[in-house]
Amino acid sequence: MRHRALPSELAAAFSVRGAQALGVGEGRLRGRDLVRPFSGVRMTAPPQSLRDRCVAYATRTHPEHFFSHTTAAYLWGAPLPANATAALHVSAIVPAKGPGREGIEGHRLSDNEIAPIVLRGLRVADAASAFLQAATLLRLDDLVAVGDHLILEPAFAEPGRPFTTIDELRRRLTDSRSHGAGKATKAAVLLRQGAESRPETLVRLAIRRFGLPEPVLGSVLRTPAGAFVARLDMDYPAFGVAVEYDGDQHRTSTQQYEKDMVRLDAVRRTGREVVRIRKSGLANDALPAALAVARALASAGCAPAARALSRFPSRNR
């Protein structure tokens, strides 16, 4: 069955009220070619991501409502575990009435320091508030990964970065009585400048739990003559050990894989041992990754690494 074309003014997601104002009748709005993600909202195709659902919801949301918690962290580009993007969180600040529509997690918050902004067309909690709110929903390591992303000053400048700072997060935590304040305080202590991906953060936290020295993040390796060699994910210059995470690009792009192999060969020629961490190394709270780093450091004469290995069952070393 062919359906009558919708007015060109309507986007891929639109409110029923907006469509009716353009002359679209109720029969057409009930068409089987349209998706109904929320009451009073239609889409021309099913949502493919949490952002799509946010865009759909925003077509009829109240002006005082904003996306919050892990949804806000997602919209700020923060890396999240897969289960954290299932729910769509929307908040209001008292005395505004909280959202109560089906299909969302609604919140009514009393933190007057929340400063919602319009981020790529969507009204979102400010980055510091998103971090504090996410603390009520995420594990500690996952929260640290979010915080590392929000405070990151990229090696190559990007407009608007960092989204917040460690000082701002700590300031907000000073008087916070949020349900997640305790976890957020622990996470703030663990944030580090220079962690550029969630796996890097998870590996660094595992290294710390294993009793190893913390690596230098994002260090620039040069030859004795000063020529640039590489920028390293994690580095132990005192022990000649570099730690690199192999992301999915190595599986999906032969060109990227070859480029990275050339880069790692150049790193090795400077005398660095390279510990390559793959996705499997993140299992069991990244313990396999921490073990691999400990072995390399112990071989290089790092006493804390040798002690850490001695406490671990020999069959797993």
Q: Measured between alpha carbons, how far is 221 from 204 in angstroms, rounded to an integer? A: 19
Q: Which amino acid is at 159?
A: P
Q: Measured between alpha carbons, how far is 123 from 265 in angstroms, rounded to an integer? A: 46
Q: Measured between alpha carbons, how far is 75 from 182 in angstroms, rounded to an integer? A: 24
Distances (CA, A) of 15 to 78, 108, 174, 262: 28, 24, 41, 52
What does the DSSP assignment read for 111-126? -TT---EEETTEEE--
CA 216 to chain centre: 21
**Per-residue pLDDT at 106:** 94
- Domain ranges across the chain: 13-51, 61-190, 198-316
182-196: pLDDT as tens digits: 999 999 999 999 999
Stretch among 28-37, 147-156, 256-265 having the lowest mean pLDDT: 256-265
CA angle 287, 186, 170 (to 5 degrees): 135
The band of 101, judged by pLDDT with boundaries at 50, 70 and 90, is confident
CA angle 115, 112, 136 (to 5 degrees): 85
Looking at the predicted structure, is the pLDDT value of residue 16 above 70?
Answer: yes
Q: Measured between alpha carbons, how far is 253 from 187 in angstroms, rounded to an integer? A: 34
**Per-residue pLDDT at 288:** 94
Looking at the predicted structure, is the pLDDT value of residue 250 above 60?
Answer: no
* Nearest CA among 222, 206, 225 for reference residue 214: 206
The band of 313, judged by pLDDT with boundaries at 50, 70 and 90, is low
Q: For 32, which DSSP code?
A: T
CA 16 to chain centre: 33
**Number of C-alpha atoms within 13 angstroms, CB side, residue 144?**
21
The residues, ordered by sequence, that sit 6+ positions from 29 with a Cβ below 8 Å of its Cβ are: 16, 19, 20, 42
R_g of the chain computed on alpha carbons = 24
The band of 315, judged by pLDDT with boundaries at 50, 70 and 90, is very low
**Per-residue pLDDT at 200:** 96
State the CATH architecture for 198-316.
3-Layer(aba) Sandwich (3.40)
